[in-house]
Amino acid sequence: MINLANYLNKTILISIPAVFEDNQPHPFKLVGIELFGLWLESEELAQRVQSPDKQGQSLSSHAVFFPFSQILYVVDRVPVTAHAHAHPAHAKTNMP
């Protein structure tokens, strides 16, 4: 099991369909972990929560809380090949 605390203040990929209207992962900086969800920051998120009268102005960081019930999945940003080397039992093998 992956411990999310290892990713605090790092960028991870998270899918939140209720916000982005797709199932694709988006990059977020993980800034906090609570019992029922995650505190996340991103420029894309700041654009979505910025009020219309502030459009075009420089964006400040916004930490936004997302309950786990709204998060479809989380992906770390480590390349797949790094996982294969770290966990050889999970590496794909070619069978004759």
**Could you give phi then psi for residue 34, rounded to 5 degrees?**
-125, 175
Question: How many Å apart are CA 10 and CA 25, to the nearest integer?
Answer: 15
pLDDT tens per residue across span 5-25: 999 999 999 999 998 889 999
Confidence (pLDDT) at 37:
97
The residue range of the domain holding 50 is 4-90
Number of domains in the chain: 1
Q: Is 42 inside any structural domain?
A: yes
pLDDT for 41-89, tens place per residue? 998 888 777 766 655 555 556 789 999 999 999 998 755 544 444 444 4
Query: Cα 5 from chain centroid?
Result: 13
Residue 96 counted as domain residue: no
CATH code of the domain covering residue 22: 2.30.30
82 assigned to some structural domain? yes
DSSP for 17-86, written as a single string: HHHHSSS--EEEEEEEEETTEEEEE-HHHHHHHS-GGGTTSPPPP--EEEEGGG--EEE-SS-HHHHHHH
Look at residue 35 and tell me whether its pLDDT is greater than 90.
yes
**Comparing 36 with 57, which gets the higher pLDDT?**
36
